[in-house]
Each structure stands twice: as C-alpha cells, then as structure tokens.
C-alpha cells in the first residue's frame, strides 16, 4: 500500500477510525474523553476531506458517479448527526455507549460502501498520477478541515465556504477545552 495513492490513503484512514472506535469502547474516565476527542477529530476531518476533494472528483469522472456519491453524502450526513449528538452528550452522558455503537455501525457500513462502490469506480476512471495528486489534495484538506462535525455542509460548494471558517472556530474550541482540562 502506498499512501501516495488516494485510495490507499483513504483506506488507511478507515482503519485508523476503526482503531479509534475500539480505543473509546475499551477506555474509561478521562481516557475515554481523550479517545473520543481523537475519534471525533479523525472522523470530522476524514469526511470533510472526502467531501471537498474525493467525492466531487468521483462524481465527475467515475462511472455512475453522481448516484454513487449522492448516496455516500447522505450516509455522511447521518453519521455526522450522530457524531454531533455524541459530542454534545459527552462520554459521561446517558446512553453514550449505545449511541457510539450505533455510530460505529453506520460508519463501518459507510466505509464499506466507499471501498466497494466508490473507490473501485474512481480507480477505474483515474491514472496513478491523478490519484497521487488527489492524495496530496486530501492531505491539504485534512490540514485545514474542521475538527468537529457540521452536518448539512455535505455539498462540495458549501464546504469550500464553511470549511475554513468552521475550522478556525473548532480549533479555538479545542484550544479552550485543552486549557480547561
């Protein structure tokens, strides 16, 4: 696997997200809060990078791109709604672990749909050079993506506006939270 290829990079992120879920589920107290903060950041950043870079490209070039991408965006939106609810609830809130379980099921199914339906079509429609350029673009998007979920900004156009602004707000919130901890 080469992370210079966008599909390898995204598949690696899916594995990191699975590990982060396991970390939250197997920890308690302050460790669980830290593990959840990491999961929340990984998920929010990953989906934003896909929404800003990968989905718009796949929609344009892949076979059946529009239908494939629209279905993924709907899944991302519902996962982000659960993630935002969990973020508001906090790891000590009532029903947190049940909702986390629900989120993991949704995120796992979503990642499988990307790996089985979207990525093979994207691979078939792109050259290795294009996939290398897409990997670089994903890394750049990851560096500026909001660290909290913002359901409702799934369309590529909205994200270009909302992404950087929401990103600054999220980073400020993170810094304040870290200072309080």
Subset of 62-121 contacting Fe ion (CB under 5 A): 114
Q: For Fe ion, how many residues bind (rule: CB under 5 A)?
A: 3
Q: How far is CA 101 from CA 49, 109, 125, 152, in A?
A: 24, 12, 35, 22
Which residue in the shown chain puts its C-beta closest to Fe ion? 50
Q: How far is the CB of 111 from Fe ion (least distance, A)?
A: 5
Instruction: Give me the DSSP letters along 87-150.
Output: HHH-TTSTTHHHHHHHHHHHHHHHHHHIIIIIHHHHHHTS-HHHHHHHHHHHHHHHHHS-SS--
Q: How far is the CB of 176 from Fe ion (least distance, A)?
A: 28
- Contact between 52 and Fe ion (CB under 5 A)? no
- Contact between 50 and Fe ion (CB under 5 A)? yes
Q: How far is the CB of 31 from Fe ion (least distance, A)?
A: 26
Spatial contact of 3 and 12, defined as CB atoms under 8 Å apart: yes
Q: Of 35 and 43, which has the nearer Cβ to Fe ion?
A: 43
Residues that bind Fe ion in the complex, under the rule CB under 5 A: 47, 50, 114
């Amino acid at each position: 696997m080469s992370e210079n290829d966008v599909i390898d990079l995204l598949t690696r992120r899916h594995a990191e997200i699975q590990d982060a879920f396991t970390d939250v589920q197997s920890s308690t107290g302050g460790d669980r809060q830290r593990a959840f903060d990491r999961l929340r950041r990984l998920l929010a950043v990953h989906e934003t990078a896909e929404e800003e870079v990968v989905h718009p490209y796949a929609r344009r070039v892949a076979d059946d791109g529009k239908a494939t991408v629209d279905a993924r965006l709907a899944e991302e939106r519902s996962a982000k709604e659960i993630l935002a609810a969990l973020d508001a609830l906090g790891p000590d809130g009532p029903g947190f672990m049940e909702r986390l379980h629900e989120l993991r099921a949704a995120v796992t199914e979503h990642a499988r749909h990307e790996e089985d339906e979207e990525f093979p079509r994207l691979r078939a429609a792109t050259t290795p050079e294009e996939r290398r350029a897409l990997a670089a673009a994903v890394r750049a998007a990851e560096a500026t993506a909001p660290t909290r979920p913002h359901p409702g900004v799934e369309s590529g156009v909205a994200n270009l506006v909302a992404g950087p602004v929401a990103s600054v707000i999220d980073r400020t919130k993170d810094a304040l939270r870290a200072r309080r901890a």
